[in-house]
A = this chain, B = another copy of it.
Amino acid sequence: MNKGRLIVFSAPSGCGKGTMLEEICKDDKFSCSISATTRAPRVGEVDGVNYHFLTREAFEKLIAEDGMLEYAQYCENYYGTPLKPVNDMLDAGKNVILEIEVQGAMKVKALRPDALLIFVLPPSIAELRRRLLKRGTEELDVIEKRVSQAAREIDEAVNYDYVIVNDALEDAVADFKAVIKAESLKTEFAAEQIHEVKKNA
C-alpha cells in the first residue's frame, strides 16, 4: 500500500477552513490530525475529538521524547501536533491534514520536506470582513484585528506550495482534491508504477 501524504492546511480566520475540512474529510482517503493541548476542555468539547487534552507534564514529556511534530505556547497553554497518530495514519495510507497556523506550518515544512503546504485565501479582504461581520459573534474592533491579522497571514502564502481561493465551497474542495490527485501523479512518485507497467511484458 502507498503511504498517505502529509498535508499542512492554513487559512486566516473567516476563510471557511472548518467547513472545507469537514467536506474534504467525508472522503475516507483523508483524515484530520487532532491537536493536543494543555488548556481545559470547554463545555461540549470531547477528548480525542476536538483535542487530545493533556496535562502539562504529559505534554512536556512528549516534547522531551520528540513526540511532537510541532508545538507552540499561547496564553500559558501548549498546543501541538502529536507525531505518532500522524505517522500511524500515513502508514495506513491516509492523507493526513494538519490544520495549523503559519509558524507551525513552517516548522513542519523544515522537519518534513515531503509535506504538502496548502494555503486558503478569501476572495478578498473586503469579503472576509463581510463574513466576519455576518457571523455577528464579535465586536467591531475584534473584527478589525482579525482582518489585519488575516492580511499579515496572507503575506505568508508565498511560502506554501499551493494557494486556493475559497469563494464557493464546492469549487474550493474540488481544487483541493485536484491538488492531491495531481501530486500523486508526479513523476517522482511514479517509479513503482513504471516498474509495474513494464513487468509481465
Binding site for B on A (CB under 8 A): 119, 121-126, 147, 151, 154-155, 157-165, 175, 177-179, 181-183, 185-187, 190-191, 193-194, 196-201
- Point out the residue from B119, B182, B183, B196 that lies within 8 Å of A124, measured CB to CB: B196
Q: How far is the CA of A185 from the CA of B198 in the complex (A)?
A: 33
> For residue A185, which residues in chain B have a CB less than 8 angstroms away from its CB?
162-164, 175, 178-179
- Point out the residue from B163, B197, B199 that lies within 8 Å of A193, measured CB to CB: B163
- Point out the residue from B123, B159, B194 that lies within 8 Å of A157, measured CB to CB: B194
Q: What's the number of copies of this chain in the assembled complex?
A: 2
A-B CB proximity, top 4 nearest: A182-B182, A125-B201, A163-B190, A178-B181
Q: How far is the CA of A7 from the CA of B58 in the complex (A)?
A: 53
Q: Is the CB of B121 within 8 A of A193?
A: yes
Q: Is the CB of B162 within 8 A of A197?
A: no
CB of A72, distance to nearest CB on chain B (Å):
24
Q: Is the CB of A151 within 8 A of B198?
A: yes
Q: How far is the CA of A193 from the CA of B158 in the complex (A)?
A: 11
Q: How far is the CA of A28 from the CA of B197 in the complex (A)?
A: 32
Q: How far is the CA of A186 from the CA of B119 in the complex (A)?
A: 10
Known: A178-B181, A182-B178, A185-B175. A197 touches B154 (CB 8 A): yes
CB of A102, distance to nearest CB on chain B (Å):
13
